[in-house]
């Protein structure tokens, strides 16, 4: 696969994730992680054109969903450790979770419409 094809596929994947209601920064981060066995937040920032706070917020959401795991890499000397991240589950499992979320959302909409019909008919 060429680099341009991979980039186009990644952009399409981000767009599809956005259509599920996922925030853009989270989608971009997730797609980057999908293609990388393990990476640092600095690499994510560079590769996705996101700022450090945006990456931190996206990583927090992905970790809360238990889709991403964090590992601390100790640096020599003083300073904060570097955080390494990787997907904790297969990307197909993430798609399955998104599918379930979307089904619940759609069912909620259908239930709401049905309730509207009942109230309207009195």
Cα–Cα dist 33/37, whole Å: 7
In the predicted model, is pLDDT for residue 71 greater than 70?
yes
pTM: 0.88
Residue 94's pLDDT is 98
Q: Which domain holds residue 96?
A: 90-122
Overall number of domains in the chain: 2
- Do 77 and 48 share a structural domain? yes
- Residue 28 CB contacts under 8 Å (≥ 6 apart), including other chains: 14, 48, 50, 58
Which CATH number characterizes residue 35's domain?
1.10.10.10
DSSP letter at 72 equals E
- Do 95 and 52 share a structural domain? no
pLDDT tens sequence across 11-70: 999 999 999 999 999 999 999 999 999 999 999 999 999 999 999 999 999 999 999 999
- DSSP letter string over 6-47? HHHHHHHHHHHHHHTT--HHHHHHHHHHHT-SSEEHHHHHHH
DSSP letter at 69 equals E
Residue 122's pLDDT is 64
């Amino acid at each position: 696969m060429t680099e341009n094809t991979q980039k186009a596929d990644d952009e399409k994947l981000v767009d599809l994730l956005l259509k599920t209601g996922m925030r853009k920064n989270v989608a971009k981060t997730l797609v980057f992680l999908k293609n990388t066995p393990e990476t640092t937040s600095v690499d994510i920032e560079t590769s996705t054109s996101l700022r450090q706070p945006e990456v931190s917020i996206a990583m927090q959401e992905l970790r809360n969903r238990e889709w991403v795991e964090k590992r601390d890499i100790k640096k020599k000397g003083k300073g904060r450790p570097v955080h390494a991240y990787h997907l904790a589950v297969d990307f197909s499992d993430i798609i399955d979770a998104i599918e379930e979320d979307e089904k619940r959302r759609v069912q909620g909409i259908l239930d709401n419409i049905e309730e509207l019909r009942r109230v309207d008919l009195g």
